[in-house]
Structure formats: structure tokens, C-alpha cells
Amino acid sequence: MYDFTIIHPVLARAITKVRCSDLLEEAEFRRLVKRVTFGQPQLSDRLFLSTGDALIACGLWLKARCQPRSSVPFLRADQWT
């Protein structure tokens, strides 16, 4: 990154201080972003939820479409109790 062997020691220290403060500001910003977004669903979570809902709706539609349309009702186990 920086070649401190040819830079004056005072300038090297100043550059190091600036770089350190930049890193600290970036870390603080990332910490605050993580704190604000904690507990909120990520994009992938919302995508999985929407995909799951679509698959369930499609499955129910297929199930309703493929069931026989006879006038004779199916025998259920709870009818005999």
C-alpha cells in the first residue's frame, strides 16, 4: 500500500493515523448498519418465502384440478365413528 521507507517519519505517522481513523469510521458504520438491520429478513429470506408460497399455491391448484369430479363422495375414516 504505502512504502514507508522513503517517506519522512512524520508523514508516515500522519498517513498511518489517517488510515487508522478511516478504518475505525468504516467499522463503526458497519456496526451501526448491522445493528439497524438485525432481525429484519434478508432478501434471500423474502425470496424463499415467496417461492414457498407460490409452490404451495401451485400444488393446491394442481390438487384441485386433478381430483375426480364424480357425484359420489369419497369415503372418509371419520364417517364410521
Alpha-carbon distance of 53 to 44, in angstroms, equals 14
Q: What pTM was computed for the model?
A: 0.45
pLDDT tens digits along 40-74: 888 899 999 999 999 999 999 888 888 776 665 56
Q: How far is CA 28 from CA 18, 39, 43, 68, in A?
A: 15, 19, 23, 63
pLDDT tens digits along 10-25: 888 889 999 999 999 9
Task: Provide the H-helix boundaries in 2-66.
Answer: 9-37, 43-66
